[in-house]
Amino acid sequence: MQTARTMTVDDTRAVMEAYAASHDVSYLAEDAVYTDTATGQQHQGREAIGAMLRYVYQDAFDARAALHELVVGEGCAAVSGEIVGTHTGEFAGVPATGASVRIPLAVVYRLADDEITEATIYLQLVRFLQQVGAI
């Protein structure tokens, strides 16, 4: 069994900046796991994570990620930002409203061997529901 290489802060920053610019799933480990804390749902593997990202940014919203901060350590990183766009499809049980949204989020990442291995997503779902008039 091969041990994962500990990543330096510079290596971690390089991977995270490249991923943030592209959201290219090739920066993910084959068995990476993304966990959505709002729902508890997990997405495992590049294909599933890519499908989840497409759903959020292209199907449920016509949106982009607006990143505000990136904090990096050895093999770990955290970002804060917003999903910015238009609500164009069902999300969190709410049918498309056409409303403009800015949904705050934070994501904590773990990395090894120059790949993202894990992400924990903290999405402020209540802010979305307020913006589309669901609450």
Please report the pLDDT score of residue 6 as a whole number: 78
pLDDT < 50 regions, the chain: none
pLDDT at position 4: 66
Letter for the amino acid at 67? L
Enter the pTM of the model.
Answer: 0.91
Domain 9-131 is of which CATH architecture? Roll (3.10)
Q: Per-residue pLDDT tens for 63-80?
A: 999 999 999 999 999 999
Chain centre to alpha carbon of residue 31: 16
Give kind and range of the element (H or E) at residue 90: none
CA distances from 15 to 11, 20, 34, 69 (A): 6, 9, 17, 15
Q: How far apart are the C-alpha atoms of 1 and 106, rounded to whole Å?
A: 33
User: What is the CA 60 to chain-centroid distance, rounded?
Assistant: 14
Domain boundaries, the chain: 9-131
